[in-house]
Chain A
Amino acid sequence: MTLGETLPYIVPELVLAVGAMALLIAGVFLGEARARFISLGAVGVLIAALIVVVLTPVEPGVSLFSGAFAIDAYASFAKIIIFAAAVVAILMSDRYLGGDELGRFEYPVLIVLSVFGMAMMVSATDLISLYMGVETQSLALYILAAFNRDSRRSTEAGLKYFVLGALSSCLLLYGASLIYGFTGSTQFDDIARAASASGQNVGLVVGLVFLIAGLAFKVSAAPFHMWTPDVYEGSPTPVTAFFAAAPKLAAMALFARAMVEPFSGVLDDWRPVIALIAVASMAVGAFSAIQQTNIKRLMAYSSIGHMGYALIGLAAGTADGVGAVLIYMAIYIAMTIGTFACILLMRRKGGMTENISDLSGLTRTNMPLAAMLTVLFFSLAGIPPLAGFFGKWEVFVAAVDAGLVWLAVTGAVISVISAYYYLRVIWIMWFNEPAPAFERERTPALGAAGVVATLLMFPIIPVFIGALIEAANKAAAALF
Chain B
Amino acid sequence: MNEIATLSMDQQPWLSLITFLPLIGAAAIAIRRLGARADQNGDLEPREQQQLDGIARKVALFFTVGTFLVSAIVFLLYYDKTEAGYQLVEQLPWLGGGINYKMGVDGISILFVLLTTFIMPLCILASWTSITKRVADYMIAFLVLETLMIGVFCALDLFLFYFFFEGSLIPMFLIIGVWGSSGTKEFAGVTMPSRVYAAVKFFLFKLLGSVLLLVAMAWMYFAAGTTDIPTLQEFNFPAGAQKWLWLAFFASFAVKMPMWPVHTWLPDAHVQAPTAGSVILAAILLKMGGYGFLRFSLPMFPIASLDFAPFMFALSIIAIIYTSLVALAQEDIKKLIAYSSVAHMGFVTMGIFTGTKQGIEGALFQMLSHGFISGALFLCVGVLYDRMHTREIAAYGGLVHRMPFYAFIFLFFTMGNVGLPGVSGFVGEFLTMAGAFKANSWIAFFAAFGVILSAAYALRLFRQVMYGDLVKSNLMAIEDVNVRELGMLVALMAFALYLGVYPLPALEVFAPAVDGLLENYTAAIAAGGA
Q: Are A419 and B42 touching (Cβ within 8 A)?
A: no
Q: Does A393 contact B (CB under 8 A)?
A: yes
CB 8 Å contact bits of B210-227 with A (1 = contact, 0 = none): 011011001101100000
Interface residues of B (CB under 8 A from A): 1, 4, 33-34, 40-43, 92-97, 101, 134, 137, 148, 159, 162-164, 166-167, 169-170, 173-174, 177-178, 193, 195-196, 199-200, 203-204, 207-208, 211-212, 214-215, 218-219, 221-222
Q: Are B207 and A397 touching (Cβ within 8 A)?
A: no
> Assuming A408-B218, A423-B173, what are 5 further A-B pairs, CB within 8 angstroms?
A384-B164, A400-B219, A420-B204, A440-B40, A469-B95
CB 8 Å contact bits of A387-404 with B (1 = contact, 0 = none): 001101100110111000
A440 to B39, CA, bound (A): 10
Which B residues lie within 8 Å of A399 (CB)?
218
8 Å CB contact of B207 from A393, A400, A401, A419: A419
Of the listed stretches A35-43, A137-145, A303-311, A358-366, chain B binds: A358-366
Q: Are A465 and B170 touching (Cβ within 8 A)?
A: no
- Considering only residues 250-303 of chain A, those with a C-beta below 8 Å from chain B are none
Q: Are A465 and B211 touching (Cβ within 8 A)?
A: no
Q: Are B170 and A378 touching (Cβ within 8 A)?
A: yes
- Contact of A430 with B174 at beta-carbon distance under 8 Å, contacts A463-B1, A469-B95 already known: yes
Q: Are A393 and B203 touching (Cβ within 8 A)?
A: no
Q: Are A365 and B41 touching (Cβ within 8 A)?
A: yes
A384 to B34, CA, bound (A): 24
Which A residues lie within 8 Å of B134 (CB)?
363-364
Q: Are B214 and A393 touching (Cβ within 8 A)?
A: yes
Chain B residue with minimal CB distance to A375? B170
Which A residues lie within 8 Å of B174 (CB)?
430
Q: Are B199 and A363 touching (Cβ within 8 A)?
A: no
A474 to B173, CA, bound (A): 38
Q: Are A431 and B42 touching (Cβ within 8 A)?
A: no
- Contact of A368 with B207 at beta-carbon distance under 8 Å, contacts A423-B200, A431-B178 already known: no
A137 to B262, CA, bound (A): 50
- Contact of A384 with B101 at beta-carbon distance under 8 Å, contacts A400-B215, A469-B96 already known: no
Please name the 10 residue pairs, one residue from A and one from B, whose CB atoms are nearest each other, closest first: A412-B211, A365-B42, A400-B218, A396-B218, A397-B218, A384-B163, A431-B177, A385-B167, A416-B208, A384-B166
- Give, as a whole number of angstroms, the nearest-CB distance from A432 to chain B: 8
> Can you list 6 A-B pairs with a CB-CB distance of less than 8 A?
A389-B163, A423-B203, A427-B196, A430-B174, A437-B41, A465-B95
Q: Are B177 and A430 touching (Cβ within 8 A)?
A: yes
- Give, as a whole number of angstroms, the nearest-CB distance from A341 to chain B: 18
Q: Are B200 and A466 touching (Cβ within 8 A)?
A: no
Interface residues of A (CB under 8 A from B): 363-368, 378, 383-385, 389-390, 392-393, 396-397, 399-401, 405, 408-409, 412-413, 415-416, 419-420, 423, 427, 430-431, 434, 436-437, 440, 462-463, 465-466, 469-470
Which B residues lie within 8 Å of A366 (CB)?
42
Chain B residue with minimal CB distance to A409? B215
- Give, as a whole number of angstroms, the nearest-CB distance from A356 to chain B: 15
A76 to B148, CA, bound (A): 37
A400 to B96, CA, bound (A): 18
Q: Are B42 and A367 touching (Cβ within 8 A)?
A: yes
Which B residues lie within 8 Å of A427 (CB)?
177, 196, 199-200
A448 to B409, CA, bound (A): 54
8 Å CB contact of B96 from A420, A423, A430, A470: A470
- Give, as a whole number of angstroms, the nearest-CB distance from A377 to chain B: 11
Q: Are A405 and B42 touching (Cβ within 8 A)?
A: no
8 Å CB contact of B163 from A378, A385, A420, A469: A385
Which A residues lie within 8 Å of B166 (CB)?
383-384, 389
Q: Are A462 and B218 touching (Cβ within 8 A)?
A: no
Q: Are B94 and A462 touching (Cβ within 8 A)?
A: yes
For B1, B101, B148, B211, which residue has the most chain A Cβ atoms within 10 angstroms? Answer: B211
A85 to B162, CA, bound (A): 31
A72 to B325, CA, bound (A): 68
8 Å CB contact of B214 from A367, A396, A465: A396
A447 to B51, CA, bound (A): 28
Chain A residue with minimal CB distance to B36? A367
Which A residues lie within 8 Å of B148 (CB)?
385
Chain B residue with minimal CB distance to A470? B96
Chain A residue with minimal CB distance to B94? A462
Which B residues lie within 8 Å of A463 (CB)?
1, 4
Q: Are A383 and B169 touching (Cβ within 8 A)?
A: yes
A366 to B34, CA, bound (A): 10
Q: Are A383 and B167 touching (Cβ within 8 A)?
A: yes
8 Å CB contact of B162 from A384, A420, A423, A436: A384
Q: Are A416 and B178 touching (Cβ within 8 A)?
A: no
Which A residues lie within 8 Å of B4 (CB)?
462-463
Which A residues lie within 8 Å of B170 (CB)?
378, 383
Q: Are A412 and B92 touching (Cβ within 8 A)?
A: no
Which A residues lie within 8 Å of B97 (CB)?
469
Which B residues lie within 8 Å of A368 (CB)?
34
- Give, as a whole number of angstroms, the nearest-CB distance from A456 to chain B: 16
Which A residues lie within 8 Å of B219 (CB)?
400, 405
Q: Are B204 and A416 touching (Cβ within 8 A)?
A: yes
Which A residues lie within 8 Å of B204 (CB)?
416, 419-420, 423
- Contact of A430 with B178 at beta-carbon distance under 8 Å, contacts A384-B163, A420-B200, A423-B203 already known: yes
A384 to B213, CA, bound (A): 13
- Give, as a whole number of angstroms, the nearest-CB distance from B103 to chain A: 14
A396 to B93, CA, bound (A): 21
Chain B residue with minimal CB distance to A361? B42
- Contact of A363 with B196 at beta-carbon distance under 8 Å, contacts A383-B167, A469-B96, A470-B96 already known: no
Q: Are B203 and A419 touching (Cβ within 8 A)?
A: yes
Which A residues lie within 8 Å of B169 (CB)?
383
A399 to B162, CA, bound (A): 19
Chain A residue with minimal CB distance to B151? A385
- Give, as a whole number of angstroms, the nearest-CB distance from A465 to chain B: 6
A416 to B505, CA, bound (A): 42
A401 to B4, CA, bound (A): 30
A409 to B170, CA, bound (A): 23
Q: Are A413 and B42 touching (Cβ within 8 A)?
A: no
Q: Are B94 and A466 touching (Cβ within 8 A)?
A: yes
Which B residues lie within 8 Å of A431 (CB)?
177-178, 193, 195-196, 199
A427 to B101, CA, bound (A): 32
Q: Are B96 and A466 touching (Cβ within 8 A)?
A: yes
A366 to B40, CA, bound (A): 9
A408 to B212, CA, bound (A): 9
Chain B residue with minimal CB distance to A365? B42
Chain B residue with minimal CB distance to A413? B211
Q: Are B222 and A400 touching (Cβ within 8 A)?
A: yes
